[in-house]
Amino acid sequence: MRATIFLIYSLLASSAGAWAQTVTGPQGEVFGRRVLARQLSDPWELTYGPDNHLWITEAKGYRVSRLDPATGTKTVLLDLSRERQFPRYDKLSDSLDGGKPWPQGGLMGMALHPQLLQGQPYVYLAYLYRFAGADQPGKGGAPNYGGYFFTTRIVRYEYQPAAQTLTRPVVLCDTLPGSSDHNGGRLLIAPVEGKDYLFYSIGDLGAGQFDNGGRPNHAQQPTHYKGKVLRFNLAPDADAAPADQWLPNDNPYGGASRQSAVWSIGHRNPQGLAYAVVGGTGHLYESEHGPYSDDEINIVEPGKNYGHPLIIGYNDGNYDGLAASVSDRATLPGPWHTTYPLIGSESTNARALGATYRDPIKTLYPNSNAFLKDFFAKTKRHAEAPEWPSEAPSSLAVYTAAAIPGWQNSLLVPTLKHGKLLRLRLDAAGTRVVGDTLTYFKAPVRYRDVALSPDGRRLYLATDSASVTSGPSKEDPKGTSCKGCILEFTYQRGGGLAPGRPAPAAAPRAAGSADTRRPARAARQAGK
C-alpha cells in the first residue's frame, strides 16, 4: 500500500487567534492552521460539543476544560486531582518515589450525552484513581515483572452551564483493572438498535511485556475485563443490585447469575472508538496498537473475538512460532520469556476460536514472519534488533461530511509514533478500507486525539506534552515542537483529485525510519 506523504513547513504559531500558516494535503486540499492552546498537561480526549466548544481532558493534570475555538479561551470545569490516590510520579525523583511509574493515561476518556443541553446534562469520565503499590517500597510492582496494579473508575457528572462546573458524581464502576501500560481508555456513546449506550475500551494492561512481562494475560477470558470493549447503560436500570443497574441485561457475556459489561474480547491496546452510519448501516469502529507490526482497525460486533494474543493483525501466519511480545528476561516463562502464549499457528488458533473470530478490516505494516523471527531472536539474546515500522494509532474518527472533496466516509487515525493523521477511505458499505493510505499534518509531535466540527470544515488535533506515555516517562521531550497543544486545521479549498492524478510532491519515507532506538525503548516511545 502506497503511503502518500506531505510535510508541513513549521509548527511554530504566533497566536491562537491568527492564521499561522497554510498547509496542503496530498490530494491538493488546502488548510489554514492555527494553535488554539499550548502547554496543556497531556490532553487525552478532545470532543466537539453541542455548545460549539471543544471539551478536553488532561491525562496528567486530571482536569476537564471547555475551549472556545473562536477565541482560545479555556475554562476549567472540573479538577479531579484530589480523586487520584497516588502522587505525580512523573514529577518526582526516583530517589523520592523509588521509581514508581506514571500509568499510561491517567484521566482518559470522556463522553458527552447526546442531549447534553436538552435535559440530559451528563458527562462521563474514566480515570485511574488507585495504585496498589503506592505504599510499597521501591517501584511498587509485583515480583518478577509481575506488573503494576492500578484501578480505574467510570463516573457520570452533571454539567452546570451557568456555573461552568461538573457536579453530582455518580459512579458507574470503580473496580476496573488498570496498569502502567495498555489501559486503552476511550469512552464513546453510540446506539444499539436505536438506544444509546456507553462504550469503554480497556487494554490487556500490558500483561506479557516490559515490566508487566510476568503478569498473566486475560484478553481471551470473558470473565475478565482486560483486553475488552465494554458496554454500560447511560442511566441505571431497575436491577436490584446497584452494580448491575449500569450493566445492560442483554450484553453478550452476561447471564442469569452474573451480569457483565463485556461486549467484545481479544483486544490489545484499543485507544480509538468511533461510530458512524455508512451505506445506511451503523458501525462501531475501533483502532488498537499492535506489538511489532499490525496496528489494527476493527469493526466491533457484540460477542465477537478479535484474536489477541492468539492472532496478531490478520490471520496470515506472520506470528507463527512467536508470541505477542519477547524479552531477554530468562526468569519469565516460555521460549520468548513472556506470559503471552506461544502462537504455534495463527490459522489453527482462528479455527479454534470458531465463528466468533473477526479479522481486522485493516492492519498497518504486517511485517513478515522472517523479519519478526529475526527480531525476536536478537531481542531474546539482548542483541541489537532492527527498528520495526508501525504507527501507534491513538484515536479514531469517521469523516462523513461532504465539505472536503473526496473525504466523505473516511476513517481518520491520529498516530503517536511518527506524528501524522492518516486517512483511510471506506467502501460504500463501510466494511472495508479501499485505496491508498493518505497522510496529513506530519510533524514532530505525538497526536493523541482528533475531533471534527459538525460541518466537517475544521479538524482539531491534540498533541502529547511528553514524548512517552509508558516506561521511563520522566525525561524531557526532545524534538517535540508543540507540547500539549490543541491545533485547528480549517479546510479552505482544493482536493478531490481523481485516482491516478499526480498529487503534490511527497517526501520519501523509509519504513520505520523515524526512530532507530532499541526495540523496547522504541515501543515505549510509540506508546504501544
Active site residues: 182
Taking residue 371's Cβ as centre, other Cβ atoms within 10 Å add up to: 15
What grid cell was written down for 411? Answer: 476513517
Secondary structure (DSSP) of 253-308: T--SS----EEEE--S-EEEEEEEEETTEEEEEEEE--SSS-EEEEE--TT-B--T
Backbone angles phi, psi at 526, to 5 degrees: -80, -10
SS3 46: strand
CA angle 321, 324, 329 (to 5 degrees): 90
Backbone angles phi, psi at 363, to 5 degrees: -125, 150
What Å distances lie between residue 516 and 328, 370, 385, 388, 414, CA to CA?
Answer: 19, 20, 10, 9, 21
d(CA 196, CA 109): 17
Strands (E), 84-186: 107-112, 122-131, 150-160, 165-178
User: Which run of H or E residues covers position 347?
Assistant: helix 346-353
User: Which run of H or E residues covers position 198?
Assistant: strand 195-202
Query: Strand order in 63-67's β-sheet?
Result: 43-48, 54-58, 63-67, 74-79
d(CA 12, CA 94): 33
d(CA 40, CA 45): 12
d(CA 297, CA 360): 6
3-state DSSP helix/strand/coil % of the chain, to nearest 5: 10, 35, 55
What grid cell was written down for 418? Answer: 511518527
Q: Using CB atoms within 10 A of its CB, is residue 245 exposed (0-12), middle (13-18) or buried (19+)?
A: middle
What grid cell was written down for 134? Answer: 503506592
What grid cell was written down for 346? Answer: 495463527
| First-residue to last-residue Cα distance in the chain | 23
What grid cell was written down for 313? Answer: 493483525
What grid cell was written down for 330? Answer: 530468562
d(CA 320, CA 344): 5
